[in-house]
Amino acid sequence: MRDINTLKIRKAKIRDVKDIQKLINEFARREEMIPRSINELYENVRDFFIAEDNNEIIGVCAMHVLWEDLAEIRSLAVRKDSQGAGIGKKLVRKCLSDAKALGARRAFVLTYRPSFFRELSFTDIDKSSLPQKIWGDCIRCPKFPECDEYALILNLGK
């Protein structure tokens, strides 16, 4: 298990994109998240934070602005050998802080691990309350409309 005190959380850089894709698509192969193309990652690199230990990327998470007051936490992935040390929670908290700083009042997530996000005070919602997501991204998913992910939301305040 990693020492969380030596961990560095930082904004992703262009040079990180291939490592980000490798980590995300490792989870996607197990159908735990949507795969991301290299093009999509380059276009959205500013959304990502990475967890780095000894100059090695061990976790990623993105905050994507979806609407005027709504942000999405997505593409959370922590290397298997680094899970359980609180790295995912640190990444999500960093993304939530970024969303709030930009003026988002709510953040949501679609996940196969709802208990993780409930521990961070997210609450369950119906996916139909997220039309921007459904008609923007979800419609392109091979599982649409039979999605088995959980939707959760967090009020970020004013």
The pLDDT assigned to 148 comes to 74
Mean pLDDT across 49-71: 94
Mean pLDDT across 5-29: 94
DSSP at 154: E
Choose between 49 and 85: higher pLDDT: 49
**How wide is the angle at C-alpha 86 spanned by C-alphas 1 and 47, nearest 5°?**
120
Residue 90 near residue 122, CB atoms below 8 Å: no
pTM here is: 0.88
Instruction: Return all residues near 155 (Cβ < 8 A) that are at least 6 apart.
Output: 105, 106
CATH number at residue 23: 3.40.630.30
Choose between 45 and 32: higher pLDDT: 45
Exposure of 23 by Cβ count < 10 A (0-12 exposed, 13-18 middle, 19+ buried)? buried
Distance between CA atoms of 107 and 146, rounded to whole angstroms?
A: 23
Exposure of 50 by Cβ count < 10 A (0-12 exposed, 13-18 middle, 19+ buried)? buried
pLDDT classification of 27: cutoffs 50, 70, 90: very high
Q: What total of structural domains would you count in the chain?
A: 1
The pLDDT assigned to 135 comes to 45
Amino acid at 105: R
Could you tell me the residue range of the domain that residue 68 belongs to? 4-155
In tens, the pLDDT along 97-149 reads 999 999 999 999 999 899 999 999 999 998 878 755 544 555 455 555 566 78
Exposure of 40 by Cβ count < 10 A (0-12 exposed, 13-18 middle, 19+ buried)? middle
